[in-house]
Amino acid sequence: MEEQNPLTGVIEQLTKLPSIGQKSAQRLAFFFLSLSKAEVNQFAKILVETRENIKYCTTCFNISFTPQCMVCCDFERNQSILCVVAQPKEIFAIERTHEFKGLYHVLGGLISPIDGMQPDMLRISELILRIKSGQFKEVILALNPTVEGETTALYLASCLKGCPISITKLAYGLPVGADIDYADDMTLQKALSGRRTFE
């Protein structure tokens, strides 16, 4: 009888991760074998603990171990600017810039009929409630410049029509350090139409 690969189970589980195929999964499986038992235990323990204890912030729906996330608990942040993102990972990206000091709201996705994502499946009503509290002067729509992102932004803008707030969205343009020659036409066009006075 053919002997079963003892790593089959691990490889099978690892291939469930995004961008991990059979070969990468096998490489990772052997990497785990090269670790000490204590290190593997620690890895597994943290993974399980994180999954079990992670919650969504009751205010902004960012991920958190506590009912309120670190951002919402930080009263030194500007409480009058709200940045709307699709997923919590985008908060991490914006936070890395140290440029934004306001609050966030995570929608939990973007409107996309193809993927079955309807407006009522997103946290739009919660967003409207927060805005109607009158706490915010500006709402920044930090959504991807895709059809889904644009549709969601337009939907939100129509929902927020009449609210005494300023609605802005992120600028499109050239990445820092990029060569104009290599920019795609659509990006270059957006960068040109959204140009600013040289200061």
Q: How far is the CB of 147 from another protein (least distance, A)?
A: 4
Sign of CA dihedral 178, 104, 64, 55: negative
* CB closer to another protein out of 10 and 159: 159
Whole-number CA gyration radius for the chain: 22
Calculate the alpha carbon distances from 195 to 73, 83, 173, 199 in Å: 36, 22, 9, 12
State yes or no: residue 119 binds another protein (CB under 8 A).
yes
Return the range that interacts with another protein (CB under 8 A); candidates 8-16, 48-56, 98-106, 183-191. Answer: 183-191
In the bound state with another protein, the residue whose beta carbon lies nearer, of 33 and 186, is: 186
Per-residue CA distances from 150 to 36, 141, 156 (Å)? 48, 10, 10
CB of 115 to another protein, least distance (A): 8
Tell me how far, at minimum, the Cβ of 192 lies from another protein, in Å: 11
Which range touches another protein (CB under 8 A), out of 18-26, 42-50, 133-141, 153-161? 153-161
CB of 157 to another protein, least distance (A): 9
Residue 38 contacts by C-beta under 8 Å, 6 or more apart in sequence?
Answer: none
125 near another protein, rule: CB under 8 A: no
Q: How far apart are CA 91 and CA 145, in angstroms?
A: 16
User: In this structure, what are the phi and psi dihedrals at residue 34, rounded to the nearest 5 degrees?
Assistant: -75, -15
81/156 with CB nearer another protein: 156
Residues touching another protein, count (CB under 8 A): 18
Inter-axis angle of helices 124-132 and 147-159, nearest 10: 40
- Span from 17-25, 87-95, 106-114, 131-139 in contact with another protein (CB under 8 A): 106-114
CB of 30 to another protein, least distance (A): 28
Chain Cα centroid distance, residue 40: 28
The least distance separating another protein from the CB of residue 171, rounded to whole angstroms, comes to 18
CA distances from 124 to 21, 31, 63, 86, 121 (A): 36, 43, 17, 11, 8
| Contact (Cβ atoms closer than 8 angstroms) between residue 104 and residue 83 | yes
| Residue from 5, 39, 186, 195 binding another protein (CB under 8 A) | 186
Interaction site with another protein (CB under 8 A)? 111-114, 118-119, 146-148, 150-151, 154-155, 158, 184-186, 189
